[in-house]
Amino acid sequence: MKRAPPAPESVILSPEIFFFGMIDDWEASAKKQLALYRKPPPPVSKSSLRPNRSLKLRFLSLFSAARQLLRLLSSSQTTKKMRSKRNLNGSDEKDLQKRKESNLVEIEKRIEEAETSSDDSPFVSDFEDSENDDDETLMGGEGSSDESGSQESDLSVSEDEDTFQSRYDDEDDDNAVSPHGDKADEHDNDGVEDNTGGSDDSREIVEESDSSEDEVAPRNTIGDVPLKWYKDEEHIGYDLSGKKIKKKEKKSKLDSFLARTDDAKSWRKIIDEYNDEEVELTKEEINLIRRMMDSKAPHADFDPYPSYIDWFTWDGAKHPLSNAPEPKRRFIPSKWDAKKVVKYVRAIRNGQIKLDDKPKEEPKFYDLWGEASSADRQGLAYIPAPKPKLPGHEESYNPSLEYIPTQEEINAYQLMFEEDRPKFIPKQYTSLRSVPAYEKAVQETFDRCLDLYLCPRVHKKRINIDPESLKPKLPSPRNLKPYPTTCYLEYRGHKGPVVTISAEATGQWLASGSKDGTVRIWEVETGRCLQIWDIGEPINEVEWNPELPILAVAAGQDVFILKTSCGSDEHQKKIEDLLHVQPQVEADDSNTNESIVNWLQDDTHGGIRLKHFKTVTKVEWHRKGDYLSTLMPSDILFPAIYMQ
């Protein structure tokens, strides 16, 4: 009768209720499953009925769910206390053992009573009895040592038994006076379990689970004591008035299983051992369990990541916390701060404090094809690596046909020098996958490294100036408007082509020489011709003296220095003097060096005539007007001194 698998002290619900009718193989798997939870192996159910596989699985999952739920609901504190108590009271073990035994006896009696009370099926009761006996004989002897064997034997027996029991269960349901008919059933089952799997277990479990604490005041008032203390008792505790709460009769396993299969809601029923009643979990509770199994927050409306509301910011707060006026120190600069600042400023100025800038962020990757930025590396010897050529269309795995060389071309490549030969011959592949490895990759990498290594580190100065920018910017022709566009004034009079003109220093007069042998002086303003000299030879050059209104005219082999009518009286006098004195001096000169220049008085034109031996093409005054130079195309320059 007495045998108890060494149930651990940890929380154990009465899982056996879910394991009715489990067959061996899945029992084993269930055991494994439970082992994962480090739970004791589930007690063996004797039921021989075989529910289908899915049902079993569902049972299994529900089992674990219920276990979790009750674990949650039961206060862990109590268990701890219990444990410690138990450890202290290790000596009670034997008493407990005894109590259990007596308890079992009582249960047996009770079952017998129940069987006798049920008129319909004495046979069943007998049967059950015998079964119970079986159990006892098997278990009583050596406890759980030979569990599996006993279970098997049990099962063989209980196949029939359950079928009968279901009927019996129905009867029982009908007769049940208690409001929780189902619970009664459960308890019956429990009783049966106890007989088979060990009543120790069930007791303990009942003790430690006080689920209904929140909702309803517990009927049982025993508090946080281990239930196993009541294992051998007929009551499970005391109600508020101090009366004993009787243990409910336990249904036979068969009955309870049958009731369970009939009841669609049975899967959500668990047993509250503490109050010794069966509790049907509500939908919400099931959901709660489900969510916890998914390791979510138990309540669906709990948001684990709410948006943070900063309740303690005062932005836009209408009223300040304190209405006190700003203290004076807020708007008076602190003397000590100022001193400190001055100190720092001095230190910075003297270089004692160095303000180091932020460390520059190094670019993570080297932009191989980017623009050469030597700005980062300003070293003198730094030479940026030459950029490799970017891959083009011909490097594509499937280039257009025009990139693919024909066979002749490939053959032609072979005839080329190796250096000229293209290193890469485009080929067409149907897919990227079929492109073979580039056989020259290593070689080329090596070559490139070699190039970089052997690069001559010589700086070539190259001025990087856009040549366009060097061009002067031309203003638009519209802005250049006062350039001569229209002929406003014509100086008419010359008969031949005008070959030379010269403007007087003040800009009032203009002298012109023409091929017709005349020299004319014009008034610039009106175009009036003021004076005409007919030299007779084509004029090569006319030139105003920069100071005096004298005109030098080169015509043929002569240079004439002509007096003009422009200029003041003093000027005229001076000129007359100059041009009169000259002939005598020049006459002397002509004696001495007659070969170069002959100075002659030219009265017809009113001036001097300098006779050269060759054609004079150019005549030029000195800036100050004292000297005159003439140019003959022979080869020598003859400076003619012209005294003033």
Partner 1 sequence: MGIDDGEGEGEARQVQVRFVTKLQHPYKVQQASISIPANLTRFGLSALVNNLLFTANVNWTTEPFDFLIDGELVRMSLEEFLIAKGISAEKVLEIEYIKAVAPRKQEEPSLHDDWVSAVDGSSDGYILTGCYDGFGRIWKAGGVCTHVLDGHSGSLTSVCNLMPKVDSIADQVVATGSKDRTLRLWEFGEEDTIDQPKKIRSVKILRGHTGAVQSIAGIPSSDMLCSGSWDCTINLWNTSATDTDDSVSVKKRKTGGQDEEALSEGDALTTLVGHTQCVSTVVWPQRETIYSGSWDHSIRRWDVETGKDSFNMSSALIAAGGSDPVLRVWDPRKPGTLSPIFQFSSHNSWISSCKWHNKSWYHLVSASFDGKVMLWDLRTAWPLAVIDTHSDKVLCADWWKGDSVISGGADSKLCISSGVPVL
Please report how close the Cβ of residue 643 comes to partner 1 at its closest, in angstroms: 24
Nearer to partner 1, 532 or 637 (CB): 532
Residue 528 makes contact with partner 1 by CB under 8 A: yes
Nearer to partner 1, 314 or 483 (CB): 483
Rounded to an integer, what is the distance from CA 151 to the centroid of its chain? 63
Which residues ranging from 467 to 496 are in contact with partner 1 (CB under 8 A)?
Answer: 482, 486, 488-489
Residue 506 makes contact with partner 1 by CB under 8 A: yes
Q: How many CB atoms lie within 10 A of CB 454?
A: 8
Of 68, 153, 508, 615, the one binding partner 1 (CB under 8 A) is 508
- What's the CA gap between 424 and 444, in Å, rounded? 11
Residue 591 makes contact with partner 1 by CB under 8 A: no
Residue 265 makes contact with partner 1 by CB under 8 A: no
Residue 57 makes contact with partner 1 by CB under 8 A: no
Please report how close the Cβ of residue 481 comes to partner 1 at its closest, in angstroms: 10
3-state secondary structure 121-174: CHHHHHHHHHHHHHHHHHHHHHCCCCHHHHHHHHHHHHHHHHHHHHHHHHHHHH
DSSP alpha helices (H): ranges in 485-626?
Answer: 569-592
Nearer to partner 1, 406 or 568 (CB): 568
Rounded to 5°, angle at Cα 511 from 505 and 515: 150
User: Which of these segments, 2-10, 68-76, 232-240, 502-510, binds partner 1 (CB under 8 A)?
Assistant: 502-510
Collapsing DSSP to helix, strand or coil, 396 comes out as: coil
CB 188 within 8 A of CB 251: yes
Please report how close the Cβ of residue 552 comes to partner 1 at its closest, in angstroms: 22
- What's the CA gap between 631 and 612, in Å, rounded? 10
Q: What is the DSSP letter of 550?
A: E
Please report how close the Cβ of residue 532 comes to partner 1 at its closest, in angstroms: 15
Q: Could you tell me the end-to-end alpha-carbon distance of the chain, in angstroms, rounded to an integer?
A: 163
Tell which phi-psi region holds residue 517, choosing left (phi > 0), alpha (psi between -120 and 50) or beta.
Answer: left
- What's the CA gap between 468 and 5, in Å, rounded? 102
Nearer to partner 1, 508 or 629 (CB): 508
Going residue by residue from 425 to 464, which x/- string records binding to partner 1, judged by CB under 8 A?
Answer: ----------------------------------------
Nearer to partner 1, 175 or 506 (CB): 506
Please report how close the Cβ of residue 348 comes to partner 1 at its closest, in angstroms: 50
E strand or H helix at 181: helix 181-193
Please report how close the Cβ of residue 511 comes to partner 1 at its closest, in angstroms: 17
Residue 91 makes contact with partner 1 by CB under 8 A: no
Nearer to partner 1, 295 or 526 (CB): 526
- What's the CA gap between 381 and 459, in Å, rounded? 8
Going residue by residue from 191 to 230, which x/- string records binding to partner 1, judged by CB under 8 A?
Answer: ----------------------------------------
Nearer to partner 1, 305 or 483 (CB): 483
Angle formed by the axes of helices 92-117 and 181-193, nearest 10°: 120
Nearer to partner 1, 444 or 525 (CB): 525
Please report how close the Cβ of residue 470 comes to partner 1 at its closest, in angstroms: 33
CB 519 within 8 A of CB 532: yes
Please report how close the Cβ of residue 522 comes to partner 1 at its closest, in angstroms: 13
User: Which of these segments, 75-83, 142-150, 410-418, 501-509, binds partner 1 (CB under 8 A)?
Assistant: 501-509
- What's the CA gap between 524 and 503, in Å, rounded? 9
Q: What is the DSSP letter of 224?
A: S
Residue 527 makes contact with partner 1 by CB under 8 A: yes
Token couple for 13 = 């619900």
Residue 68 makes contact with partner 1 by CB under 8 A: no
Going residue by residue from 618 to 637, which x/- string records binding to partner 1, judged by CB under 8 A?
Answer: --------------------
Please report how close the Cβ of residue 504 comes to partner 1 at its closest, in angstroms: 10
Nearer to partner 1, 160 or 523 (CB): 523
User: Which of these segments, 280-288, 423-431, 524-532, 608-616, binds partner 1 (CB under 8 A)?
Assistant: 524-532
Please report how close the Cβ of residue 323 comes to partner 1 at its closest, in angstroms: 58
Residue 531 makes contact with partner 1 by CB under 8 A: no
| Side-chain half-sphere CA neighbours of 600 within 13 A | 16
Residue 526 makes contact with partner 1 by CB under 8 A: yes
Nearer to partner 1, 300 or 489 (CB): 489
Token couple for 465 = 């100036």
Residue 595 makes contact with partner 1 by CB under 8 A: no
Angle formed by the axes of helices 147-175 and 181-193, nearest 10°: 160
| Side-chain half-sphere CA neighbours of 480 within 13 A | 8
Nearer to partner 1, 295 or 568 (CB): 568
- What's the CA gap between 124 and 407, in Å, rounded? 99
Of 327, 333, 359, 507, the one binding partner 1 (CB under 8 A) is 507
CB 559 within 8 A of CB 630: yes
Which among 21, 298, 289 has a CA at the least distance from the CA of 162? Answer: 21
Which residues ranging from 540 to 579 are in contact with partner 1 (CB under 8 A)?
Answer: 568
Strand partners, 533: 519
Of 395, 525, 534, 594, the one binding partner 1 (CB under 8 A) is 525
- What's the CA gap between 539 and 561, in Å, rounded? 13
Give the residues lining the site for partner 1 (CB under 8 A). Answer: 482, 486, 488-489, 506-508, 525-528, 568
